[in-house]
Structure 1
Amino acid sequence: MLNRRTILVCAISALCLTAPAVQAEQIQIFYADDGAAIGGYDTVSYFSGSDPVRGRPDIAVMWKGAVWYFSSHENREAFEANPYAYAPQFGGYCAYAVSRGYTVGTDPNVWKIVDDKLYLVHSSSIEKMWERDVEGNIEMAEDHWPQVLRN
């Protein structure tokens, strides 16, 4: 027969086991200048093979604390079906800065797709440093992410 103590121990154990996953989810913050992710650019458009395009405020979705604008309903639907496939890595913060252990905003026009993942960079001058060792910089950024958000 289950008594109160057994039920309480089971409940506390379940909370302790799920706490790390909940914490990780809570710190998944996306950089959003003025509340709009990627400065209002359509994140799906980066994967089209051409230059990214600005999204429209009337075709938007709220996700992970930021508003994401899209240039078409189709792009919004693609994002809603699998947001992690289209969202920029490292919360949309500059991938080079994260590789160095800090965060800084990005320029939506300075970007790179690597292994079907979107990486944004702060500026074209920083992009030159980023491109000297893209794979190494990604590796270092992954080592710092998401702890870098606590700095």
Structure 2
Amino acid sequence: MNRFALTIAAAATTLSFVSAAFAGDQFVDETGFAVSGYDVVAYFSLPQNALGQQQTAPVEGNKSITAEHNGATFAFSTEANREAFLANPTKYAPQYDGHCAYGVAKGGKVPGNPTLWRIVDDKLYLNITKNVVGFWEEDIPGNIELSTENWPSLDPKPASDRTIPQWSSAAPKG
């Protein structure tokens, strides 16, 4: 029985190591925060504009109201939003660890710009530039399907270390 227990324990340890080894990194820019310090919970209460129009500006987080997830610090505008995130981080965290949804559809990890966002089927997606948003919006369901197919091979790769183009990020307030 002891050998059996040791075998099970070794297998469980190996499985947890393997799953940890294949967990991708959250994209974090120069602010030091995931999603450039914007409140990921707040996106879900913002009005969305029609395709082809710029989205509503996201809500800045507060650097004194934070939570850790996927190896990164997320900032929130309120304690209530922080608590909602802690209760279900996968609901609120951006898809593809904050990388550009269209970039993932095309097979790569590039930064996601927090001002170029869209909620689709209750999931937050970011894109890298306004031009890329146009390509992504031409076929959102098709691009999500491609991204979903590509993500398992991209997820274990390191997070993008590139800067968001045409972006001047500011750390969260507070």
Offset at residue 20 of structure 1 (A): 4.2
| Inter-partner Cα distance in structure 1 for 2:6 and 2:67 | 39
Deviations 1:87-133 (A, max 9, x none): 00011100000011101112111011100000000011100000011
Whole-angstrom CA distance in 2 between matches of 1:59 and 1:14: 35
What are structure 2's unaligned runs of at least 5 residues?
Answer: 48-55, 159-174
- Aligned partners of 2:70 and 2:7: how far apart in 1? 32
The verdict on how the C-alpha distance between 1:75 and 1:13 changes in structure 2, with shifts beyond 3 A counting, is closer
Counterpart of 1:145? Answer: 151
Match of 1:70 in 2: 76
Flag the 1:19–1:66 CA change in 2: closer, same or farther, 3 A: closer
Q: Number of paired residues?
A: 147
Give the Cα–Cα distance (whole angstroms) in 1 for the partners of residues 2 and 82 of structure 2.
Answer: 50
Q: Does 1:110 align with 2:151?
A: no
Please say if residues 28 and 146 of structure 1, whose CA atoms lie closer than 8 Å, have aligned partners that are also in contact. no
Tell which structure's C-alpha radius of gyration is larger.
1
Distance 1:42 1:15, change over 3 A: same
Secondary structure of the structure 2 residue equivalent to 1:74: helix
Aligned match of 1:47 in 44, 56, 80?
A: 44
Indicate the structure with greater helix content: 1
Alpha-carbon distance change, 17 to 53 in structure 1, aligned in 2, over 3 angstroms: closer
Could you say which structure has the greater relative contact order, defined with CA pairs below 8 angstroms and 6 or more residues apart? 2
> 1:31 maps to what in 2?
27
CA distance in 2, matches of 1:17, 1:65: 20
CA RMSD of aligned residues (A): 1.9
* Structure 1 outlier segments of 4+, above 6 Å: none
In structure 1, how many angstroms separate the alpha carbons of the residues matched to 2:76 and 2:7? 47
Q: 1:11 deviation in Å?
A: 3.6
- TM-score, L = length of structure 1: 0.87
Q: What is the distance in 2 between the residues matched to 1:82 and 1:7?
A: 33
Partner of 1:90: 96
In the alignment, residue 38 of structure 2 is paired with which amino acid? Y
**Corresponding residue SS for 2:139:** helix
- 2:171 paired residue number: none
Shift of 1:23: 3.4
AA paired with 2:68?
M
